[in-house]
Structure 1
Amino acid sequence: MSNGGGPKGRDKLKTNESGKAGAVKALREDIRPDTGVAGAKADEKTTKAVTAFSGWATAIGLKDVQAELDLQVQGLQARLSADEMAVQRTAQDFLNFDHQTGDGFNRQNGDLLDRFFVQPRPSDN
Structure 2
Amino acid sequence: MSFEEEWGRKQQGGSAVPGSGYGVLATAPPEKKKAANTIENVLQPGTTKAADAADEPTTTAVKAFSGWETATGLTKAHTHWDDQVKRLMGRLNSEKTALRGASNLFTGNDQLTGQSFQPVQSKVTGL
**TM-score range for the pair, normalised by the shorter chain length:** 0.5 to 0.7
The aligned counterpart of 2:40 is: 28
Amino acid at match of 1:75: R
Structure-1-length-normalised TM-score: 0.65
Which residue in the other structure is 1:17 paired with? 29
The counterpart of 1:57, out of the listed 66, 69, 73, is: 69
- 2:62 counterpart letter in structure 1: V
Q: Return the TM-score normalized by structure 2.
A: 0.64
Structure 2 gaps, min length 5: 8-14, 17-21, 114-127
The alpha carbon displacement at 1:84 in A equals: 0.0
Structure-2 residue corresponding to 1:80: 92
Question: Which segments of 5 or more consecutive residues in structure 1 lack a partner in the other structure?
Answer: 103-125
Q: Which structure shows the higher helix fraction?
A: 1
Equivalent pairs: percent with the same residue? 33
State the Cα RMSD in Å: 2.6
> Residue 47 in 1 paired to residue 59 in 2?
yes
1:96 deviates by 6.7
